[in-house]
Amino acid sequence: MSVPRLATGPAKNKLRSQTVNRTFYWMVVPALLLFVVLHTVPALTGIFYSFTNYAGYGEWDFVGLQNYVNLFRDDRILSSYGFTFLFAVTATIVVNIGALFIALLLNAKIKFQTAFRGIFFIPNVLSVLIVGYVFNYLLSNNLPLVGRALGIEWLSTSILTNPDLAWLGIVGVTAWQSIAFSVIIYLAGLQTVPAELYEAASIDGASHWRQFTSITFPMISAFFTINMVLALKGFLQAFDQIVALTGGGPGTSTESVAMVIYRGGFQGGEYGYQMANSVVYLIVIVVLSLLQMRTLQRKEADFS
Amino acid sequence: MNTEKSRTARWRRITGACLAVALGTSLAACAPAEQARVKLDFFQFKPEAVAEFKALVSEFEAQNPDIDVVINAVPDPDTAIRTLLVKGKTPDVLTLNGNGNFADLAASCVFADLSAFPSASRVKPEVQEILNSLGTCHGSETNGLPFANNASAILYNPDIFAKHNVEIPRTWDELIAAAETFKANGVAPFYMTLKDAWTVLPTYVNLAGNLQPRGFFEDIRAAAWTPQTGTHGFAKDGKEAAEKLKQLFGYRQPGADSAGYSDGNAAFAAGKSAMYLQGSFAIPAIRAANPEARIASFPYPTTNNPAETTLVTGVDVTLAMGRETKHPKEAAAFIEFLMRSEAMKAYTTAQSAIVPLADAGSIADPALEGVQDIFGEGRLIGYFDHQVPTSIPFTAMLQQFMLDGDTAAFLHRADNEFAKAAARTSTKKGE
């Protein structure tokens, strides 16, 4: 019995691997086509136009690298990068600390655990624009009343119309909305930690804090990495919450890069120039994400 | 001007959605109609005037049974029209706001030349000049006919003026004296709405438009202009207008920073301030807040010489025709139908606008009686900001200036933004 098996074995395997491969191709090719048509081609078109003075319509000419040169001389662009980094870094830190904390609470053996998990997920279901408009109303009308009642000067006018504080309002609303998603990922991570580790640790007399720093956090560090990368990448592209809350104001103090690209490119008739901005920004985001992955992954615990 | 553009996006979205529903049903109803009818694609930008244009269109269709006018109204007209142009789907007939954006499109020759239209000769020449000076195809055509004009004047509450014995100010000093009188009597002279950046513009366009030299924009919009090399500039010529703007906004009520345009309309409608620094376009919104609101108007006195006072007016609705339209005859008939005095009067009465015809007669809305004479005399200038490239965040800069009060910083920034725009424009021309 073993002889024919040996004889036919490799041939069968070869045949099978070929069929499997073909199936994979059938699955991958349509997705790849869609990706190329809907993503790569537009991206390349955009990169192409960044070397022109295209207004979005009408005639255009090549201008070489002039758009890129002007970009680095434009203080409005530079200050939008400054604001976006400040916003994204702050929001990433706030969201991850908040989400980790809430995830730990929701993972503990509390009553109505599932109900609480559902409630904490609600902000993520709501649209950012709706959340933004609601908070715009609250921050402009209700919070100043609280500030006046307590006699706090800086809180008695809307913080969204204060050039120095408006960004904090945006960070707050963004965090409120996006913590929910990070919580889900952290919860998934917490469920992968074996309960025996905690049992052994408590027998050894480890405090809760020690358990967190020595067991929980190292065990979920992969989830921490992905959350940090996703959060930073998402916040660097901030747009809708700013539209709903401040519209980039007061003045131009809360204009994010995405907003400048939209305004200048689609409303201001400087499509080519803002495409150059987009290309630079794409590179910035890719580089930042790679750096972040590398540094955080090095710190991840490896138990395999 | 930017005011119409930036009217709250939400409002537009709502009307847009309603219209989409309304259009959907009417289209469905029209669907089985015979093929012989000529279909005119009518792009209508003004969400506030959906009902008026619908009525005009049905009247036109009743008179011309072989023409079917399909109204297309969109939430964000400036972006939508560009999208249509990119796709090569220029509508047959359009209404657009006669601002810099319209001029950009006209200059790229996407609209037909309307100068030979019979109605073109009836338009008030000063108004046509304001529209054409922004930019036309080859710099010589007439690509848009003014359908309705607005006026940027100071709105005031005649009851409050009478109660405190204040005369209508005719000079800058009288305006400041009036503000002081109201302030001393515990009445808010103005209701300012700094949360919406563009609400600073109506005042600034009057001050800058009148106080800054003619030929200002020809100079600073030239290729490779810099504040050092140019004849004109904001730091050189813009100080007086900026200082006067700051002075007026110094009279703002407490909490003005977090008040928005709709708050302002409601407050002025309720008689909470003596004056309101908004144009004719705010009148329907004020009446919506309070149908009994007491509104009158006077032109901005920007200097101490009443003879120098001008009225800032813009073409709120301009009619245009696609250059490559398949139905030029029908489109022209529709435009001539809209340009009849009766149609324009009906529209301007409903929208508190001004008929831009030479033989228009008196302004229908009593709230605008105060600007009747100066409009009739043709002492008109266009909106200052229509000359500002849309890539410059000019309204945001004005808002910032009103919040920090730093005149030098504002003038420097304005010069800097124009220099950057000039550098980008020069790369456009010198390949």
Does the pLDDT at position B396 exceed 50?
yes
Name the band, by pLDDT with cuts 50, 70 and 90, for residue A19: low
In which element (H, E) is residue B414 found?
A: helix B407-429
**Mean pLDDT for all residues in chain B:** 87
Name the band, by pLDDT with cuts 50, 70 and 90, for residue A18: low
Measured in degrees and rounded to the nearest 5, phi and psi for residue B390 equal -65, -15
In which element (H, E) is residue B190 found?
A: strand B188-190
Segment B132-147, tens digit of pLDDT: 988 898 888 999 999 9
Residue in this structure with the two tokens 């954006």, named with its chain if needed:
B101
Sign of CA dihedral B86, B89, B92, B93: negative
To the nearest whole Å, the CA of B2 is away from the closest chain A CA by: 12
Does the pLDDT at position B26 exceed 70?
no
User: A194 is written with which tokens?
Assistant: 């074996």
Q: B48 and B316 in contact (C-beta within 8 Å)?
A: no
To the nearest whole Å, the CA of A91 is away from the closest chain B CA by: 25
Q: Is B416 on the interface with A (CB under 8 A)?
A: yes
Half-sphere exposure of B95 (CA within 13 A, CB side): 26
Q: Select the residue from B252, B388, B391, B426 to test the A interface by mutation, using most A Cβ atoms within 10 A.
A: B391
Q: Which residues pair with B381 in a beta bridge?
A: B312
Q: Which residues pair with B339 in a beta bridge?
A: none
CA distance B59 to B337: 10
Q: What is the pLDDT of residue B277?
A: 95
Q: Per-residue b/e over B172-202, b at no fewer than 16 CB within 10 Å?
A: bebbbebbebbeeeebbbbbbbbbbbbbbbb
Between helices B407-429 and A75-107, what is the axis angle to 10°? 110
User: A227 is written with which tokens?
Assistant: 């959350």
CA distance B84 to A57: 10
Q: Mean pLDDT throughout B252-263?
A: 89
Q: What is the pLDDT of residue A250?
A: 87
To the nearest whole Å, the CA of A174 is away from the closest chain B CA by: 20
The bridge status of strand B311-321 relative to strand B93-96 is: antiparallel
Q: What is the pLDDT of residue A59?
A: 74
What letter represents residue A290's amino acid? Answer: L
Name the band, by pLDDT with cuts 50, 70 and 90, for residue B58: very high
Provide CB contacts within 8 A for B299, sequence distance 6+: B153, B154, B309, B310, B311, B370, B371, B374
Nearest CA in chain A to B402: A251
Does the pLDDT at position A76 exceed 60?
yes
Name the band, by pLDDT with cuts 50, 70 and 90, for residue B8: very low
Q: Mean pLDDT throughout B314-343?
A: 93
CA distance B238 to B216: 10
Q: Which range among A77-81, A200-204, B103-107, B336-340 shows the weakest confidence by mean pLDDT?
A: B103-107
Q: Mean pLDDT throughout B103-132?
A: 91
Q: 241-300 in B: which are within 8 Å (CB) of A?
A: 255, 257-258
CA distance B86 to A54: 12
CA distance B427 to A197: 66
Give me the interface pTM, i.e. the ipTM: 0.73
Q: What is the pLDDT of residue A4?
A: 44
User: B344 is written with which tokens?
Assistant: 């324009």
Q: What is the pLDDT of residue B276?
A: 96
Does the pLDDT at position A60 exceed 60?
yes
CA distance B189 to A47: 53
Segment A234-257, tens digit of pLDDT: 999 999 999 999 888 788 899 999
H runs (alpha helix) in B185-273 = 201-211, 216-220, 234-237, 239-249, 261-269
CA distance A256 to A242: 8
H runs (alpha helix) in B232-388 = 234-237, 239-249, 261-269, 283-289, 328-338, 341-351, 372-377
Q: Is A26 helix (H, G, I), strand (E, B) or coil?
A: helix
Q: Is B173 on the interface with A (CB under 8 A)?
A: no
CA distance B334 to B135: 24
Task: Answer whether A251 sits within 8 Å of B396, measured CB to CB.
Answer: yes
Q: Mean pLDDT throughout A3-17?
A: 48
For residue B104, the chain A residues in CB contact (below 8 A) are 55, 269
Q: Is B194 on the interface with A (CB under 8 A)?
A: yes
Q: B343 and B104 in contact (C-beta within 8 Å)?
A: no
Name the band, by pLDDT with cuts 50, 70 and 90, for residue A231: very high
Name the band, by pLDDT with cuts 50, 70 and 90, for residue B32: very low
Q: Which of B197, B190, B350 has its CA nearest to residue B261?
A: B197
Does the pLDDT at position B33 exceed 50?
no
Q: Which of B189, B100, B95, B207 has its CA nearest to residue B152?
A: B207
Q: Select the residue from A52, A53, A57, A164 to test the B interface by mutation, using most B Cβ atoms within 10 A.
A: A57
To the nearest whole Å, the CA of B44 is away from the closest chain A CA by: 19
CA distance B314 to B386: 9
To the nearest whole Å, the CA of B209 is away from the closest chain A CA by: 22
Does the pLDDT at position B255 exceed 50?
yes
Q: B389 and B424 in contact (C-beta within 8 Å)?
A: no
- DSSP-assigned letters across all residues of B114-182: -TTSGGGGGB-HHHHHHHHHT--GGGT----EEEEEEEE-EEE-HHHHHHTTPPPP-SHHHHHHHHHHH
In which element (H, E) is residue B67 found?
A: strand B67-73
What letter represents residue A38's amino acid? Answer: L
Name the band, by pLDDT with cuts 50, 70 and 90, for residue B18: very low
Q: B144 and B319 in contact (C-beta within 8 Å)?
A: yes
Angle formed at CA B288 by CA B287 and CA B294, multiple of 5 degrees: 20
Residue in this structure with the two tokens 């972006």, named with its chain if needed:
B79
Between helices B341-351 and B50-63, what is the axis angle to 10°? 160
Nearest CA in chain B to A52: B428
Q: What is the pTM of this model?
A: 0.79
What letter represents residue A302's amino acid? Answer: D
Q: Mean pLDDT throughout B204-212?
A: 93
Q: What is the pLDDT of residue A13?
A: 52
Segment A120-173, tens digit of pLDDT: 999 999 999 999 999 999 998 888 889 888 988 888 888 888 888 999 999 999
Q: Which of B95, B150, B102 has its CA nearest to residue B386?
A: B102
CA distance A239 to B37: 45
Nearest to B391 among A67, A73, A264 (CB): A264
Q: Per-residue b/e over A103-125, b at no fewer than 16 CB within 10 Å?
A: bbebbeeeeeeeeebeebbebbe
- For A214, other C-beta atoms within 10 Å of its C-beta total 14
Q: Is B294 helix (H, G, I), strand (E, B) or coil?
A: coil
Name the band, by pLDDT with cuts 50, 70 and 90, for residue A61: confident
Higher pLDDT, B3 or A187: A187
CA distance B334 to B192: 41
The bridge status of strand B296-298 relative to strand B380-381 is: unpaired
For residue A160, the chain B residues in CB contact (below 8 A) are 258
Bond prior to B189 in cis (omega within 30° of 0): no
Task: Answer whether B427 sits within 8 Å of A63, measured CB to CB.
Answer: yes
Q: Is B197 on the interface with A (CB under 8 A)?
A: yes
Q: What is the pLDDT of residue A108?
A: 87
H runs (alpha helix) in A74-165 = 75-107, 113-125, 128-137, 143-150
Q: What is the pLDDT of residue A302?
A: 62
Share of chain A above pLDDT 90, in %: 58
Does the pLDDT at position B28 exceed 50?
no
Q: Which of A210, A202, A10, A224 has its CA nearest to residue A97?
A: A224
User: B333 is written with which tokens?
Assistant: 């008939």
Q: What is the pLDDT of residue B176?
A: 96
Residue in this structure with the two tokens 């047959």, named with its chain if needed:
B92
CA distance B33 to B36: 9
Nearest CA in chain B to A137: B258
